[in-house]
Amino acid sequence: MEHIITIEGGAAFAVSTEEDSLLRGALRAGIGMPHECSVGGCGACRFDLVSGDMETLWAEAPGLSERDRKRGKRLACQSRPRGDCTIRIRCADEYTPAVAPRRGLARLEGRRQLTPDMSEFSLRTAWPAAFLPGQYALLYPPGTEGARAYSMSNLPNADGLWQFVIRRVSGGRGSNALFDRLGVGDEVAIDSPYGNACLRDTPAREIVRIAGGSGLAPMLSIARAALARPDAPPVRFFDGARTAADLCGESLLGDCPPPHRLSYTPVLSMPDASPGWRGAVGFVHEEVKRALPQPLDRYEFYFAGPPPMIDAVQTMLMHKHGVPFQQIHFDRFF
Ligand SMILES: Cc1cc2nc3c(=O)[nH]c(=O)nc-3n(C[C@H](O)[C@H](O)[C@H](O)COP(=O)(O)OP(=O)(O)OC[C@H]3O[C@@H](n4cnc5c(N)ncnc54)[C@H](O)[C@@H]3O)c2cc1C
Ligand code: FES
């Protein structure tokens, strides 16, 4: 069974009644529907329902402001068609998935503790792990409402191996369910890949990666992919963490070939908790500004992490150093 969705003044497409959201159905149909987080946090997928019946999945999703709600706006990632509908939204080619997302079950093959609250999860699907470095998957943690986004930390492969670096969030329902209720051998629903902050073909510019906390995962995948290109310029990797015990980027990058093309700078925001630390301290974006030879518009920037870090890096690059928006690529971890 399918519902036909018509975009006012644009294309019409079919969404299976099995789909859990309008956004996922549209992207699977090859429609360039705007999105960023896929989980109700960013508001990039706002649309107007012109006619038809649409279920709202998460009424309190922070991606809509009170003003948006009063104006009748909806989020495509938190809406599910109940019949044929007409919607108003501006789609763009840049959002058309380069790799069509695929849904199914993945088996947990192994879990490796990296820091006191971060572990590497290795999942296996029966189909190839097709994605662009920097993209994320949606996992459906057992007993939890809604999907959670987790970025792949490995490289695409034909063996169906999907690796993630996941932080256990204090009080968080989804992350705790993955740590406590998903055992080795268990299956979890996966829908992947999503996201636009992936590695671009810009070999001429030096590449800077900035990771905050669990923002490490997509930065690892991008760094691994960039270093595997024989003609790629050097990669500078800034890894922001609270204490030395929270750092694991350098060991995870250890398997990357030619180490001379990679410089790794750990930065601690709570150095007092790490006696004997002699490395960089403060917020990671401050160290980026201090350590990088200027001007900053000669680099291609990729960063991922909590929203305050993303905002700080974006403001520093765009407003204070005039880095063009096309040279910055990021994922906010809502
Ligand atoms: C693009 C992206 C990539 C990410 N990559 C990583 C990563 O590689 N590693 C990592 O550790 N974390 C990552 N995150 C963060 C991760 O998705 C979770 O937000 C985090 O694990 C906390 O989830 P929680 O369920 O424990 O916390 P909770 O506070 O229970 O939930 C947090 C998030 O879940 C969603 N949510 C909550 N309630 C509902 C509901 N009722 N219905 C639908 N959705 C709901 C919302 O997006 C909310 O912000 C990423 C986030 C995004 C957006
Ligand atoms: S993509 Fe829907 S709120 Fe972010």
Q: What is the pLDDT of residues 133-148, one digit of tens each?
A: 999 999 999 999 999 9
Note whether residue 287 is domain-resident.
yes
pLDDT for the residue numbered 114? 96
149 CA from centroid of ligand 1 (Å): 6
| One domain for residues 25 and 109 | no
Strand locations in 152-298 (E): 161-167, 187-194, 206-212, 235-241, 262-268, 280-281
Residues 39, 109: one domain?
no
Closest among 133, 128, 182 to 155, alpha carbons compared: 133
Domain-ending residue, one of 194, 218, 242: 194
Quick count: other Cβ atoms within 10 Å of Cβ 93? 6
Residue 82 near residue 53 (C-beta atoms within 8 A): yes
Q: Which atom of ligand 2 is nearest to the CA of 46?
A: 2
131 CB-near residues (< 8 Å, 6+ apart): 99, 137, 152, 156, 192, 193
| Residue 314, domain extent | 206-332
Tell me the average pLDDT across 169-184: 97
Higher pLDDT pick, 157 / 334: 157
- Lowest-confidence region among 37-41, 154-158, 196-200: 196-200
- Given the structure tokens 């009424």, which residue do they identify? 59
- Range with lowest mean pLDDT among 97-101, 103-107, 135-139: 97-101
Q: Residue 309 has what pLDDT?
A: 95
**Residue 44 CB less than 6 A away from ligand 2:** yes
Asked, for residue 252, whether it belongs to a domain, the answer is yes
pLDDT given at position 139? 98
Residues 211 and 304 in one domain: yes
- Looking at the structure, tell me whether residues 169 and 72 fall in a common domain: no
Q: How far is the CA of 138 from the centre of ligand 1 (A)?
A: 10
Ligand 2 close to Cβ of residue 146 (< 6 A): no
Q: How far is the CA of 41 from the centre of ligand 1 (A)?
A: 9
Q: How many domains does the chain have?
A: 3
User: What average pLDDT does this structure show over 173-187?
Assistant: 98
Q: What's the confidence (pLDDT) of residue 250?
A: 86
Q: Which of left, alpha, beta for 264 (phi over 0: left; psi -120 to 50: alpha)?
A: beta
287 lines ligand 2 (CB under 6 A): no
**Does residue 175 have its Cβ closer than 6 Å to ligand 1?**
yes
Q: Is the peptide bond before 295 cis (omega within 30 degrees of 0)?
A: yes
In a domain, 152, yes or no: yes
Average pLDDT estimate for 294-304: 94
Is 200 a member of any domain? no
Residue-level pLDDT at 198: 84
pLDDT beyond 90 at 254: no
Q: Which residues pair with 70 in a beta bridge?
A: none
